[in-house]
Amino acid sequence: MTERAETSADSDLSLANEAETRRSADSSERAYNIIRKLLVEFKLKPGERINEVQLSRSLGVSRTPIREALNRLASEGFVSLTPNRGFFVRSLSTEGLLDLYELRSIIESAAFKLMCERAEDSEIDRLRQYWEAIVDGYRDQPPDIILAEDEGFHLLIAELSGNPELVGQLASINARIRFIRRIQIEHPSHDKAQITSHSAIVEAAVKRDAENGAKLLREHIEMTVSATQQALKDALLKVFAPDNGADLKRRRRARDA
Amino acid sequence: MTERAETSADSDLSLANEAETRRSADSSERAYNIIRKLLVEFKLKPGERINEVQLSRSLGVSRTPIREALNRLASEGFVSLTPNRGFFVRSLSTEGLLDLYELRSIIESAAFKLMCERAEDSEIDRLRQYWEAIVDGYRDQPPDIILAEDEGFHLLIAELSGNPELVGQLASINARIRFIRRIQIEHPSHDKAQITSHSAIVEAAVKRDAENGAKLLREHIEMTVSATQQALKDALLKVFAPDNGADLKRRRRARDA
DNA sequence: CGTCAAGAAAGTGTCGACACTATTGCGTTC
DNA sequence: GAACGCAATAGTGTCGACACTTTCTTGACG
């Protein structure tokens, strides 16, 4: 069932981020990317136990790189490890997602303030340029591109804060909520508001209006949260009831610690 | 040199935290704790390459659990992995430390605000009780206890924020700066200010004065930063020049990306 | 005397195998 | 017929070995 992971998955996945520790095109790295993709696309379902042997067979490598990848994913919060029972897919319950968005909001607004204090004028201008370069065709891009551009925008703010730890944190959060953001982006209702938000944020940055910009960011992120809840329900429904979307009452999955 | 890791290290290390994924008393977990202890105590020196075979010999296990532990530590930022060259101890340069403290400050003040908004009265009271229970003997405890109590205090605030992601982040940050905090605690100059800080923070919590409490926390943390810089210098000196503390000019270590 | 190259040594990345733990299925007993 | 325990199965945790890469050593050449 989880067999036959698409083998072309190792290339296009790491769109944007991960300012962390880098690796090469090892088996281990490849496994990490593929498994993470399986996770964010719900090919591996929330709450499910991960069978290392199956995975190693379907990826064509031994269990060692699989386990290394899973350990890494456990540190990043994608999966959890119960001692002699194995790795489990951590189900992002609704609250879990909201917690993540809240953390993101905290970090981003803090990053914005720091950027206002510290960044060079030329750097602020880079942010402006970045946004202006993509704003025109923004709505017309495919979802993956929109997502990458959006993440890039926010990551750039984090970078201009001058604190690499913030960048790392944000990148890690992004990876965990990427799947839901992609779903959201496909609800076209949101794009317009997103564009005006970003423009307003850039404007605040140019003025170095830390308070207002931070507030805009908070609102920008929190605005998406309600839509997120619906998107999450849709996603879970799609996962647990791929065809018959009828009896959604009985689907009481997504229970997590 | 790094041989003979103290074998009694697996018990007392995990003082406080790690609300993350849990494991058992596996070899892997044991290795993780021991290696992390070696790292925070500078037994493994910043910038140094970590020899897996040596480590596995000195811990009496094979390389597999060693590598799992190192992967975990890499995700947490303690070490870095260069593809075919191995794991390296990430040297916490001065800026790196300041970045971490800044992140900590951001998260803690945000947590305080959220706690003020959300926590039950009884929970706030738990914070008050926690602090009152330890404040009397605070100064007289051994450093490790003081450190654990201090971390516990701040972690409790994070818990009362109601956002487990904040707890996890803070726990992870704590682990990375623990070594320097321990050194700081041994400079007795600081205790007094710390005690009054904590008391003031509790007071603000009881009044649910989010703004003031967050400000106090920021100051409380930033206050330690200048002391931290000196403490870091001392620590590095001790590490790289264990006996002859004379020519500190030539020690140009702690260079990091 | 310094530079470079080839070979030797050391070290990482991955594998298959085995021991031990958890789980499942079956038969026994009340 | 249900609960319990026991055996069989499935799955994780760890090991030692080997291939391949990097690093060090040695020796030849300019």
ipTM (interface predicted TM): 0.74
Q: Is the pLDDT confidence value at A40 over 90?
A: no
Give the pLDDT score at A215. Answer: 95
pLDDT at A181 exceeding the cut of 90: no
Last residue of a domain, one of B50, B70, B89: B89
Q: For the residues B111-138, what does the mean pLDDT come to? A: 94
Q: Does B168 touch chain A (CB under 8 A)?
A: yes
- Residue A26 contacts residue A65 (beta carbons within 8 Å): yes
Last residue of a domain, one of A42, A64, A89: A89
Task: Name the burial class of residue B41, with classes exposed (0-12), middle (13-18) and buried (19+) by CB atoms within 10 angstroms of its CB.
Answer: middle
User: Higher confidence at residue B196 or residue B114?
Assistant: B114
Nearest residue, CA→C1' of C23? A85
Using an 8 Å CB-CB cutoff, list chain A residues near B67. Answer: 68
Instruction: Name the most confidently modeled range: A74-83, B58-67, B91-100, B183-192.
Output: B58-67
Contact between A36 and A13 under an 8 Å Cβ cutoff? The reply is yes
Is the model more confident about A74 or about B235?
A74
Strand ranges (E), B31-132:
49-50, 79-82, 86-89
pLDDT tops 90 at residue B1: no
Chain B residues touching A67 at Cβ < 8 A: 68
CATH number of the domain within which B47 lies: 1.10.10.10
Domain annotation covers residue A247: no
pLDDT at A224: 78
pLDDT at res. A148: 92
Q: Which residue has the higher pLDDT, B135 or B93?
A: B135
Element housing A79 (H / E): strand A79-82
What is the average pLDDT score of chain A? Answer: 80
CATH of residue B144:
1.20.120.530
| Residue A102 shares a structural domain with residue A48 | no
A67 touches chain B (CB under 8 A): yes
A4 vs B228: CA distance, rounded Å: 52
**Does residue A250 or residue A117 have the better pLDDT?**
A117
Buried b (16+ CB within 10 A) or exposed e, A141-173: eeeeebbbbbbbbbbbbbbbbbbbbbbbbbbbb
Domain annotation covers residue A72: yes
- Is pLDDT of B170 > 90? yes
**Distance in angstroms (rounded) separating the CA atoms of residues A171 and A6:** 25
pLDDT, tens digit (0-9, with 9 covering 90-100), for B21-50 = 444 458 889 999 999 989 878 888 888 999
Task: Inspect the interface and report whether the beta carbons of B20 and A67 lie closer than 8 Å.
Answer: no
The reply to whether B139 and B186 lie within a common domain is: yes
Specify whether A108 is located in the same domain as A231.
Answer: yes
- Mean pLDDT score of chain B, rounded to an integer? 80
> Domain check: are A210 and A120 in the same one?
yes
* A252 found inside a domain: no
Percent of chain A with pLDDT over 70: 79
What band does B179 get if pLDDT is binned at 50, 70 and 90? Answer: confident
Q: Is A124 in the same domain as A225?
A: yes
Distance in angstroms: CA A156, C1' C26? 62
Q: Of A32, A61, A89, at which residue does a domain stop?
A: A89
Instruction: Clarify whether residues A71 and A31 are in a common domain.
Output: yes
Are both A78 and A105 inside the same structural domain?
A: no
pLDDT for B188 beyond 70:
no
Structural domain count, chain B: 2
Q: What is the domain range of residue A104? A: 94-240
Domain assignment of residue B251, yes or no: no
Q: What is the pLDDT of residues A195-238, one digit of tens each?
A: 889 999 999 999 999 999 999 999 988 887 777 777 777 766 76
Q: Is the pLDDT of residue B99 over 50?
A: yes
Chain B residues with CB-CB distance to A71 below 8 A = 68, 71-72, 75
> What Å distances lie between residue B207 and B106, B107, B127, B212, CA to CA?
21, 21, 13, 10
Q: How many CB pairs under 8 A join A and B?
A: 87
DSSP state of B242: S
Flag whether B4 is in a domain.
no
DSSP 3-state of A216: helix
Best residue in B18, B21, B90, B169 to probe A by mutation, most A CBs within 10 Å? B21
> Is A4 a member of any domain?
no
Amino acid type, B4 = R
Residues shown for chain A = 257
- The whole-number pLDDT of residue B191 equals 66
Both A132 and A200 in one domain: the answer is yes
**Could you give the CA distance from residue B235 to residue B107 in angstroms, rounded to a whole number?**
26
Q: Identify the helix (H) or strand (E) that includes residue A88.
A: strand A86-89
* Least confident stretch, B49-63, B90-104, B202-216: B90-104
A106–B103 CB contact, under 8 Å: no
Of the two residues A242 and A196, the one the predictor is more confident about is A196
DSSP symbol at A140: G
Whether A34 and A98 share a structural domain:
no
Do B83 and B102 share a structural domain? no
pLDDT at B148: 92
Integer distance in angstroms from the first to the last C-alpha of chain B? Answer: 26
Specify the pLDDT at position A188.
Answer: 56
Judge whether A62 is closer than 8 Å to chain B, CB to CB. Answer: no
A68 touches strand C (CB under 7 A): yes
- Answer yes or no: do A122 and A232 share one domain: yes
Residues B220-257 pLDDT 10s? 888 877 777 777 777 667 666 544 433 333 333 333 33
Closest CA to B173 of B115, B221, B223: B221
CB atoms A163 and B26 under 8 Å: no
- Residues of chain A in contact with residue B22, where contact means CB-CB under 8 angstroms, are 81-83
Nucleotides in chain D with any atom closer than 7 Å to protein CB? 11-17, 21-23
- Look at residues B113, B135, B140, B106 and name the one whose alpha carbon lies nearest to residue B199: B135
Residues B114 and B222 in one domain: yes
